[in-house]
Amino acid sequence: MKFFADTAEIAEIRELAATGLLDGVTTNPSLIHKSGRDFLEVVKEIAGVVAGPVSAEVVALDYDGMMREAAVLRKLGDNIAIKVPLTPDGLKACKALTSDGTMVNVTLCFSAAQALLAAKAGATFISPFVGRHDDVGFDGMALIADIRLIYDNYDFPTQILVASVRHPIHVVEAARIGADVMTAPPKIIHQLFKHPLTDSGIASFLKDWQATGQKIA
């Protein structure tokens, strides 16, 4: 499963990229607003740091507006994936853009029916929001399982990009189901390293080593 970072903070992206674990980045207007920087400037910088796909979201709601904004965003890097909402105009833009060789991330997916429509429109990625789905009393991971089954039934190449990830269990469950990608804030990715037995094991080994009085270098 590919790991994308859901952030617009360049320092966090560079840190994760250095681990070799980062396969891409997802952004949205809200994340870039929090960074306090120019939208286009941030997206271009991220695209230069990460080799994998960088999702940049349009803000227009009509087809013509989306296509105009997409034309600007595509120029920011060869690895830009245009992020469009799951609406009739969004899927129309998706079809036009993917037909022209552009990666498209269809976002704000909350049902398997919506995911089916996005796949038929040629989406590169579909972004079901599992955390937000859970928030309103639905099972976000059941949604991922339904989408996986449907896509496998018809050999759709659209990649399932699990979004709105709230904790490491979301990541593990998505991997068990067979999601292609997950995107999460850097703090969630760092939590994947954590386990109390790892911490206690390191402490025990270090104590025993120090007792020997030896040095490696």
**Which position has the token pair 């469950």?**
173
Q: Helices 39-49 & 10-19, crossing angle to 10 degrees?
A: 10
Of 70, 110, 71, the C-alpha closest to 87 is 110
Annotation says 83 is catalytic = yes
Q: Where are the beta strands (DSSP E) in 92-169?
A: 103-109, 125-128, 159-162
Question: Cα 30 from chain centroid?
Answer: 15
Of 6, 119, 112, the C-alpha closest to 54 is 6
Of 103, 151, 142, 134, the C-alpha closest to 4 is 103
Which residue among 34, 44, 75, 83 is the active-site one? 83
Give the span between the Cα atoms of 88 and 58, in whole angstroms.
15
* Catalytic annotation, residues: 83
